[in-house]
């Protein structure tokens, strides 16, 4: 099995360090990424999704060589390791370290004609060798755990190398190498670097990609506190951001204590993602592999359709499902329609989470505000399902600027546990007013940030019981929610304190007006005398 950890990591079974806090990506690094992006964009690849896909391929190719260098170091220490690259001149020529300093034409030919086709043939974490006489790659033997490469190999079949010219490729390779060797050398920042690149999908404002900001994903993950034993799913995974955030949380809190069995679980079975965009699935598969998750269950699937019959399979769901209106009623799963008869995806996904979770499983998901107070039968039925038959734990209202610059929709985070036996006594509400960034299109960092307060209060809900409705967070009893047709909008329950404002009496105002009038008259008289 291929183990592709970051430069500071070691193979499964040899982990003994707690992940250290690394510095955030700097402005200088961002500028260099922007330069790389512009080089590709200017060469004719105007679609941001295409640009990110091509950059992902190159980052992955480099990561393979980094891992091979680690393998060679472990081999020198007497450890038995599986090599990624064939030990032939052809196989070694595919390594990033071997071609990065070659001329542009040679580099272009190696990547387009050797490395890229070889990656599409990977099996068991190994690249195939090439038969120069026959002009074909030598087939690799099947591996026992063929699922280890299923997602990656499946979605890479349709991948296309689109770097337009050798000169552009040379600029990109040189730019990436400078970043890795100088700007982030020795830092575990591959994830941050990739996150910034993915963020450009948002700022580009194209393709309809509704991407959740990383700090919001991290907050939602921290609220649920995943463990190495959890089985986590995002049924609308996009670039796999929620799965990556969950993986980072697990490594940060459990890395030093995880067993070999838990690391094997972490490498794949722990993470599942579905999407209907093949390009996003390719990016997801590579993104997860770049984060040491080599055989996740990433697949093409319309999650709310009849083709998805997954039931009680996960301990945790994390998602920002699409708010795209309605879908074909005939394609909707009957089990979802039984919970809420609707064609609205934001309601169907809530029913889906309940079906896919095991009993006791947790969910944190983003919903548009309309889900909280919508008066239709479908809206009320899904809210009733959460409150009456499961445990609705929290409603965190977020400001509308969270998803700017590419969307201004008001949203909330719902947190609930599947019980199938009720359990909702009191629901915790929080009115988030700031998330650490300005709420305009610029989304510049600011000092105001409610996220640390949200995490601290949610971790100690016992102290929340006595808070007044005028405060930023408070509890609302189930009975009150039921009496309000299961309305979950915070404004329904929040009390606003109005400070009394005293105004002068009418007589006082009239006196002031007369005085002003007299002053004006005197001023005019003085002006007339001067004429």
The verdict on residue 529 lying in a domain is yes
Q: Name the domain count of the chain.
A: 1
Taking only the tens place, the pLDDT of each residue in 124-157 is 678 899 888 888 888 887 654 544 455 666 777 7
The verdict on residue 513 lying in a domain is yes
The verdict on residue 407 lying in a domain is no
The verdict on residue 240 lying in a domain is no
Band of the pLDDT at 333, cuts 50, 70, 90? confident
**In the numeric block, which tokens belong to residue 126?**
């190994």
- Predicted confidence at residue 17, as pLDDT, reads 32
- Predicted confidence at residue 216, as pLDDT, reads 94
Q: Which residue has the higher pLDDT, 16 or 160?
A: 160
368: left (phi over 0), alpha (psi -120 to 50) or beta: beta
Residue whose tokens read 């010219």: 165
Query: Which pTM does this prediction carry?
Result: 0.77
The beta strands (E) that lie in 202-301 are given as 232-234, 271-275, 297-300
What would the mean pLDDT of 183-194 be, rounded to a whole number? 63
Q: Residues 318, 234: contact at Cβ < 8 Å? A: yes
What would the mean pLDDT of 241-269 be, rounded to a whole number? 92
Taking only the tens place, the pLDDT of each residue in 462-475 is 999 999 999 999 99
Taking only the tens place, the pLDDT of each residue in 257-303 is 999 999 989 988 899 999 888 878 887 887 787 677 877 888 888 88
What would the mean pLDDT of 225-234 be, rounded to a whole number? 97
Q: Residues 319, 303: contact at Cβ < 8 Å? A: no
The verdict on residue 373 lying in a domain is no
- Predicted confidence at residue 11, as pLDDT, reads 35
Exposed/middle/buried for residue 117 (C-beta within 10 Å: 0-12, 13-18, 19+): middle
The upper half-sphere exposure of residue 492, i.e. CA atoms within 13 Å in the direction of its Cβ, equals 20
The verdict on residue 303 lying in a domain is no
Measured CA to CA, the distance from residue 170 to residue 12 in angstroms comes to 35
| DSSP state letters, 512-528 | HHHHHHHHHHHHHHHHH
| Closest of 61, 264, 278 to residue 172, by C-alpha | 61
The verdict on residue 18 lying in a domain is no
pLDDT value at 201 more than 60:
yes
Range of the domain at 527: 503-531
- Predicted confidence at residue 186, as pLDDT, reads 57
Q: Helix or strand or coil: residue 13? A: coil
| Closest of 349, 426, 422, 429 to residue 382, by C-alpha | 349
Q: Which residue has the higher pLDDT, 382 or 407?
A: 382
| DSSP state letters, 171-219 | HHHHHHHHIIIIISTTS--HHHHHHHHHHHHHHHT-TT--PPPHHHHHH
What would the mean pLDDT of 420-425 be, rounded to a whole number? 92
Measured CA to CA, the distance from residue 231 to residue 218 in angstroms comes to 17
Instruction: Of 146-150, 157-161, 216-220, give the lowest mean pLDDT range.
Output: 146-150
């Amino acid at each position: 099995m291929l183990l592709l950890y970051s430069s500071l990591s070691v193979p499964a079974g040899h982990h003994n360090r707690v992940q250290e806090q690394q510095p955030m990506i700097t402005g200088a690094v961002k500028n260099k990424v922007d330069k790389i992006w512009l080089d590709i964009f200017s060469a004719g690849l105007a679609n941001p999704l295409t640009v990110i896909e091509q950059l992902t391929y190159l980052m992955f190719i480099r990561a393979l060589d980094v891992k091979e260098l680690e393998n060679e170091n472990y081999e020198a220490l007497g450890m038995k390791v599986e090599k990624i690259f064939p030990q032939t001149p052809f196989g070694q020529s595919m390594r990033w370290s071997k071609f990065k300093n070659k001329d542009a034409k040679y580099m272009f030919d190696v990547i387009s004609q050797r490395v890229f086709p070889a990656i599409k043939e990977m099996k068991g974490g190994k690249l195939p060798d090439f038969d120069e006489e026959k002009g074909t790659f030598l087939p690799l033997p099947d591996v026992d755990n063929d699922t280890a490469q299923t997602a990656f190999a499946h979605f890479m079949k349709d991948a296309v190398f689109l770097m337009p010219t050798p000169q552009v490729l040379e600029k990109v390779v040189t730019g990436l190498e400078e970043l890795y060797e100088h700007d982030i050398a020795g830092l575990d920042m591959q994830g941050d670097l990739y996150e910034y690149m993915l963020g450009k999908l948002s700022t580009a404002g194209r393709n309809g990609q509704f991407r959740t900001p990383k700090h919001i994903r991290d907050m939602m993950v921290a609220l649920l506190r995943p463990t190495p034993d959890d089985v986590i799913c995002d049924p609308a995974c996009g670039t796999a951001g929620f799965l990556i955030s969950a993986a980072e949380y697990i490594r940060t809190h459990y890395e030093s204590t995880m067993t070999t069995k838990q690391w094997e679980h972490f490498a794949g079975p722990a993470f599942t993602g579905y999407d209907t965009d093949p390009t996003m699935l390719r990016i997801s598969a590579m993104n997860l592999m770049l984060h040491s998750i080599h055989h996740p269950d990433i697949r093409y699937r319309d999650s709310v359709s009849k083709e998805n019959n997954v039931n009680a399979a996960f301990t945790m769901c994390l998602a920002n499902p699409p708010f795209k209106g309605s879908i074909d009623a005939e394609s909707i799963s009957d089990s979802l329609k039984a919970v809420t008869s609707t064609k609205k995806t934001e309601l169907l996904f809530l029913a889906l989470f309940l079906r896919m979770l095991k009993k006791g499983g947790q969910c944190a998901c983003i919903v548009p505000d309309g889900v909280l107070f919508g008066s239709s039968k479908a809206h009320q039925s899904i809210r009733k399902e959460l409150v009456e038959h499961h445990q609705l734990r929290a409603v965190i209202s977020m400001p509308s600027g969270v998803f700017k610059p590419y969307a201004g929709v008001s949203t909330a985070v719902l947190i609930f546990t599947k019980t199938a036996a009720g359990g909702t006594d009191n629901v915790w509400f929080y009115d988030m007013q700031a998330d650490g960034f300005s709420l305009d299109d610029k989304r510049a960092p600011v000092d105001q940030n409610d996220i640390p307060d949200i995490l601290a209060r949610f971790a100690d809900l016992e102290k929340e019981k006595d808070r007044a409705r005028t405060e930023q967070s408070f509890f609302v009893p189930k009975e009150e929610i039921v009496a309000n047709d299961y309305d979950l909008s915070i404004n329904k329950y929040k009390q606003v304190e109005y400070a009394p404002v005293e105004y002068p009496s009418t007589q006082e105002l009239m006196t002031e007006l007369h005085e002003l009038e007299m002053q004006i008259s005197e001023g005019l008289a003085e002006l007339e005398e001067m004429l």
